[in-house]
Structure formats: structure tokens, C-alpha cells
């Protein structure tokens, strides 16, 4: 299959691989083919070293010490916020809130923005959401009597814009949609979604957990009201997520969690809140994680997200051709505009059996419902196996996956 031409000749994947120490490990005695980047990506030395440097040379808590190390760590933490601001092209650092992960960021919006909703107001999500963009709205429905509408998708996994249009009316106050599906790879028409929501006065939240590592995201250009992502899928550490919100909206929202750092004054009778972004960062924040995330952003930015995307498109084309030649292979999610994520079934083999058998060949993929059970029901499957590619993956790893799937076929006949 190496006759499939590569569209990018100046992408030195081997040089990037050398930045990720874990990629030279073996798994089950075989060379590692790490194809589970959608679950969590590996970390380059640049991230590991940035966190290590902080721990070794100036670590202290932030925003409270009057001594050199605390000032330096505070500066590094706040510089990281500026790096994220630039990465998303937000107007102000006040619009960047550090959270524990994307899940917490979405819960923050559902909880705090949700306080402004009344019984009968509507929130729209889609059939392809991750549980973290379903359950917080269900909790809100129980608490405030809102309605939750679900925008359907096509059999190929496309966002159905006409169905969305039919569901929009002035009772819709929030449209909360994934920017990229973690299962199908579908890229949703984000700008159009925002335009149409704003026309009826609704706000828009994008779950960008599977988007920011594959494309440039500009929140001003999208004009979305909220945007969330999680650090560990962007080659950064776990334990950190980001919420972008328009300043006026965040200003008007009540705090999510109470405690240190998020207050202006406290008496037993009454407390008042700190300015943004501190109002939404109660307690000791993810300090070294923010520093690691900024290093990850610097890393992908230095390579160039457009170049990463071109490399991944090339891999996707190669993988679809290579895997389609494997007996019983069926791809689930074939939207034309998608990232390098391939969910699939293989005849009657259960996804967990597929993943377990190919693990013996050194291949790491995810299997199961991918925290998207309603989507599994929509696609009529119990689960899928999923190969999700990142900036360091190669055609050789796709070949290793294909050969491992042949072994699954040999076992299941």
C-alpha cells in the first residue's frame, strides 16, 4: 500500500517521535503502536521537562507567597494562561479558566450558567456527545426543569443542520455540541451552529476536547460563548482542563466552587467574589499542570497545527485504504469532514476481544462505548474498537494494526 502518495514531504515524523520517550518502549514484547490518542496522548520531553523544572527549581503555591519562588511560580502559572489565551485567540486572560479537565469545565457551565435558566427553557445537545456533555445537562434538567433536546446525526455521523434548524426557537437558551466527535471523528459545522443559535438568542458551548490537537481554534472567529478542552489529549498533562467563556457571561455567572482564591472578602455573614478568572478557580489550582499544558501548546504550535492536520489526513487516507482491505472491517463514522479517528467493527468479534488480541501484537486501541452510550445505540452497535491517530503516528503503525487485525480474523474465522 506504500504506493498511496503522501501529501506532505517535509514532515519529519521520526524527529517528532524522538521527543516522546515512551514511543521507544515495547508493549507485550512488540514495538509499540500507540493508536489511542483520543483517550490520552503521550507527552514530549518539552512537557515533562517544563513540569520537572518547576518542581526542581522554583515550586511553591501560587497567588499567596511573598517570596521569590511563589512569585516565580505564580508568574509561570499566569504566563501559561496567556499561552492558552493566544492559542484560542481569546480577547482577555479573564476569559481563560483553568479547571481539572474538560468534564469539570462543562459541569461549571451547566451549573453556573444553568442557574439563569427557568423551567421550560431548552438546552440542545447532539446524538454524538461524550457523557460529559450529556450528564451535566441532565442534572440541570432535574434541578431546574429545563428541557433537553437531542439533535440527530446521519448514518454516516454527520451533524444534520436542517434538523437543528427545525429544533431552534426562542426557548432554546444553550446549544452544547462537540466540535469533533471522539468516536466518529466528525467535525461539526461550528460557525454555522453559532450563527443559527445566536439568531434565536441562544448561547453556544463547544466541547473541543477532540478538536484542539487537530486544528487551529479561534474563539473570536467562531464567536462561540464557551469552549472547553482537556490538557491530556493535547500532549499535555492530565489534571488540567480549560474553559473559555466570553467575559460578560462569566462575569454574570455565580461561582461554581467556593473556597480559597475565589473570594474578595469573607465574613461569617457574607462573602464576595474575586474578579475573573479567580472567581472560578477555587483552591490550589493545577499549577505544574498549567505549566505543562503551556509547554504542550508551544510544542504543537512550533510544529504547526496545519502541518499536523495534513500529516493526520494523510494517515487517515492511508489507514482507510489499508484497513478496508482487511476482511470483515467496517468503519463506523464516515463523515467527509473528519479527523484521523477510525471506529470500526470486525465481523462478529466483540470490540473488547479485538483490543485484547491486538494488544498482544503491541497495538494500543480503545474498545467499548467510549463514554458515548447513546451514540452506540444510535449506530446500532454495542461498542466499537477505535484507532485514533496523533502527530507522531506512522504508516508502519497502521500496517502493524492491519496485521494484528488479520490475527483477530484468524481466531474468529
Ligand X SMILES: Cc1ncc(COP(=O)(O)O)c(C=O)c1O
Q: Which residues bind ligand X (CB under 6 A)?
A: 101-103, 130, 132, 178, 182, 207, 209-210, 230, 241, 371
> What's the min distance (Å) between Cβ of 228 and ligand X?
8
> What's the min distance (Å) between Cβ of 347 and ligand X?
27
Q: Give the C-alpha separation, 126 to 189, whole Å.
A: 13
- Pick between residue 73 and residue 209 the one whose CB is nearest to ligand X: 209
Residue carrying the nine cell digits 466483540: 350
**Residues 54, 58, 224, 371: which is the catalytic one?**
371
- Pick between residue 295 and residue 372 the one whose CB is nearest to ligand X: 372
> What's the min distance (Å) between Cβ of 39 and ligand X?
6
- Pick between residue 209 and residue 361 the one whose CB is nearest to ligand X: 209
> What's the min distance (Å) between Cβ of 180 and ligand X?
7
- Pick between residue 130 and residue 279 the one whose CB is nearest to ligand X: 130
Least Cα distance to 223 among 243, 203, 252 occurs for 203
Q: Give the C-alpha separation, 358 to 33, whole Å.
A: 10
- Residue 89 Rama label (left phi>0; alpha psi -120 to 50; beta): left
Q: Is 54 a catalytic residue?
A: no
- Pick between residue 105 and residue 404 the one whose CB is nearest to ligand X: 105
Instruction: List residues with catalytic annotation.
Output: 371
Amino acid at each position: 500500500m506504500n504506493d498511496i502518495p503522501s501529501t506532505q514531504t517535509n514532515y519529519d515524523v521520526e524527529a517528532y517521535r524522538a521527543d516522546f520517550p515512551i514511543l521507544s518502549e515495547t508493549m507485550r514484547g512488540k514495538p509499540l503502536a500507540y493508536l489511542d490518542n483520543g483517550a490520552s496522548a503521550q507527552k514530549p520531553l518539552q512537557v515533562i521537562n517544563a513540569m520537572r523544572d518547576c518542581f526542581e527549581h522554583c515550586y511553591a503555591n501560587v497567588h499567596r507567597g511573598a517570596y521569590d519562588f511563589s512569585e516565580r511560580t505564580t508568574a509561570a502559572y499566569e504566563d501559561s494562561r496567556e499561552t492558552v489565551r493566544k492559542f484560542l485567540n481569546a480577547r482577555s486572560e479573564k476569559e481563560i479558566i483553568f479547571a481539572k479537565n474538560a468534564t469539570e469545565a462543562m459541569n461549571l457551565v451547566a451549573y453556573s450558567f444553568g442557574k439563569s435558566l427557568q423551567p421550560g427553557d431548552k438546552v440542545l445537545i447532539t446524538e454524538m456527545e461524550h457523557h460529559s456533555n450529556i450528564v451535566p445537562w441532565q442534572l440541570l434538567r432535574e434541578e431546574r426543569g429545563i428541557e433537553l433536546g437531542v439533535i440527530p446525526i446521519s448514518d454516516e455521523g454527520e451533524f444534520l443542520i436542517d434538523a437543528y434548524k427545525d429544533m431552534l426557537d426562542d426557548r432554546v437558551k444553550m446549544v452544547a455540541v462537540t466540535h469533533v466527535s471522539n468516536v466518529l471523528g466528525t467535525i461539526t459545522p461550528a460557525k454555522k451552529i453559532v450563527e443559527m443559535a445566536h439568531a434565536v438568542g441562544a448561547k453556544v458551548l463547544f466541547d473541543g476536547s477532540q478538536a484542539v490537537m487537530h486544528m487551529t481554534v479561534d474563539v473570536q472567529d467562531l464567536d462561540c460563548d464557551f469552549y472547553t478542552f482537556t490538557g491530556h489529549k493535547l500532549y499535555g498533562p492530565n489534571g488540567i482542563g480549560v474553559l473559555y467563556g466570553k467575559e460578560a457571561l462569566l462575569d454574570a455567572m455565580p461561582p461554581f466552587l467556593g473556597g480559597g482564591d475565589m473570594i474578595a472578602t469573607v465574613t461569617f455573614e457574607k462573602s464576595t467574589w474575586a474578579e475573573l478568572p479567580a472567581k472560578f478557580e477555587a483552591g490550589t489550582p493545577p499549577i505544574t499542570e498549567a505549566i505543562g499544558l503551556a509547554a504542550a501548546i508551544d510544542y504543537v504550535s512550533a510544529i504547526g497545527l496545519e502541518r499536523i492536520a495534513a500529516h493526520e489526513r494523510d494517515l487517515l487516507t492511508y489507514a482507510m485504504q489499508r484497513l478496508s482491505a482487511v476482511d470483515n472491517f467496517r468503519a463506523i463514522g464516515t463523515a467527509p469532514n473528519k479527523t484521523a479517528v477510525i471506529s470500526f467493527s470486525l465481523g462478529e468479534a466483540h470490540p473488547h476481544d479485538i483490543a485484547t488480541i491486538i494488544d498482544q501484537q503491541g497495538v494500543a486501541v480503545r474498545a467499548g462505548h467510549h463514554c458515548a452510550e447513546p451514540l452506540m445505540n444510535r449506530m446500532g452497535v454495542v461498542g466499537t474498537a477505535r484507532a485514533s491517530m496523533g502527530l507522531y503516528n506512522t504508516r508502519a503503525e497502521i500496517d502493524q494494526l492491519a496485521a494484528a487485525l488479520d490475527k483477530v480474523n484468524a481466531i474468529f474465522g
